[in-house]
A = this chain, B = another copy of it.
Amino acid sequence: MGGNGREKDHASELRSIFSLKKIADAVNGYEEAKYVVFGIPFDNTSSYRRGSKYAPDSIRGAYVNLESYEYSYGIDLLASGMADLGDMEESEDVEYVIDTVESVVSAVMSDGKIPIMLGGEHSITVGAVRALPKDVDLVIVDAHSDFRSSYMGNKYNHACVTRRALDLLGEGRITSIGIRSVSREEFEDPDFRKVSFISSFDVKKNGIDKYIEEVDRKSRRVYISVDMDGIDPAYAPAVGTPEPFGLADTDVRRLIERLSYKAVGFDIVEFSPLYDNGNTSMLAAKLLQVFIASREKYYKEHI
């Protein structure tokens, strides 16, 4: 570890040794990346079991234990063009956070890249939806309809995400899968039927493929938002409110692998590491791999 006359100190040598933690396969800089991962450590509107703001770091930590090569898809993530921007600075102001997410998703998409957002709670998805081009529909995995007009006096509460998305996208543009908890006020809202809510019971009865195909037929492009509580708590215990009777982990994997080819963005939200046994962080990290690897596989085979 030498040095030479031109250098005042060892800063650059040290920089080559150390780095702050990134997703393990995120070896690209922003400029050359195709997939741009970033974390939004925000959980301020959550009322019960908080902690989703710790999720980005927990997912990065779990990801280290995955192979870079995604065997099922034959794709090497190391060669797929991932960058990791790190996390947004924490803020308690939900509107500021959503505005920032909007700016970021817009910027990333306008640079021709795919944003992959690690929440944080579900309310941040509203920012991403605001940034979507006109022809992009929304696919949500969730246990909850998130269809309240406002909650605790806040229209940006995580219980209002799908309602806000409807305001932005309009009727027939949103599919929300895994639903098994809806309040009376939400169910009786005349606008409720403007979203295609698919219950986990329907998925168990008819299979996930039926619903994937409906989306595939109707939507030219999609943004996919995975609220981890859509998945059954046997597979994803570390969520705010574990709701029994959820989707199988393989149902959600299937949905992502089938629709990633027309996805312009992706997020994973509502995972709270404070309640984890190690399974939820691994599943979240793996779903991120599934998204990229299945998408890369499609374009390798079709182009």
Residues in chain A within 8 A of chain B (CB atoms): 1, 3, 8-11, 13-15, 17-22, 29-31, 36, 38-39, 44, 47-50, 54, 57, 61, 64-69, 71-72, 74, 76, 84-90, 92, 100, 103-104, 106-108, 110-111, 152-153, 179-184, 187, 199, 201, 204, 232-235, 237, 241-245, 249-250, 253, 274-275, 277-279, 282-283, 286
In the complex, residue of chain B having the shortest beta-carbon distance to the beta carbon of A235: B234
Q: In the complex, A275 Cα to B31 Cα: how many Å?
A: 40
A168 to chain B, nearest CB (A): 19
Nearest chain B CB to A124 CB, angstrom units: 13
Partner of A241, one of B65, B104, B110, B244: B65
Residue on B with the closest CB to A8? Answer: B31
Asked whether A17 and B88 contact (CB < 8 A) given A69-B184, A71-B179, A111-B10, the answer is yes
Q: Report which of B14, B50, B61, B152 forms a contact with A104, defined as CB distance below 8 A.
A: B14
20 A-B residue pairs with Cβ-Cβ distance under 8 Å, sorted by A, are: A9-B30, A9-B31, A10-B111, A11-B29, A15-B30, A17-B85, A19-B86, A20-B87, A21-B87, A67-B183, A69-B183, A71-B199, A74-B187, A232-B235, A234-B249, A237-B278, A237-B279, A242-B282, A243-B286, A275-B277
Partner of A250, one of B13, B204, B253: B204
CA distance A85 to B11 in the complex (A): 10
Task: Name the 10 nearest CB pairs between A and B, nearest first.
Answer: A20-B20, A69-B184, A20-B86, A10-B107, A71-B182, A18-B85, A1-B103, A234-B234, A9-B111, A18-B86
List of B residues within 8 angstroms of A84 by Cβ = 20
Which residues of B are found within 8 Å of A100, using beta-carbon distances?
A: 17
A113's nearest neighbour on chain B, judged by CB, is B9
Q: For A286, what are the chain B residues with a Cβ–Cβ distance below 8 Å?
A: 243-245
Given A15-B30, A20-B20, 15 further pairs, Cβ under 8 A: A1-B103, A9-B31, A10-B107, A14-B30, A14-B38, A18-B39, A18-B86, A18-B88, A19-B86, A67-B182, A67-B183, A233-B278, A237-B278, A245-B250, A277-B277
In-complex Cβ contact of A92 among B64, B68, B69, B152 (8 A)? B152
| CB within 8 Å for A15 and B243 given contacts A111-B10, A233-B279, A277-B237 | no
User: How many Å lie between the Cα of A140 and that of B187 in the bound state?
Assistant: 34
> CA of A107 to CA of B236 in the docked complex: distance in angstroms?
43
- Could you say which residues of chain B place their CB within 8 Å of the CB of A65? 48, 241
Are the CB atoms of B21 and A68 closer together than 8 Å? no
Chain B, Cβ-Cβ closest to A111: B9
Q: Which residues of B contact A242 (CB under 8 A)?
A: 278-279, 282
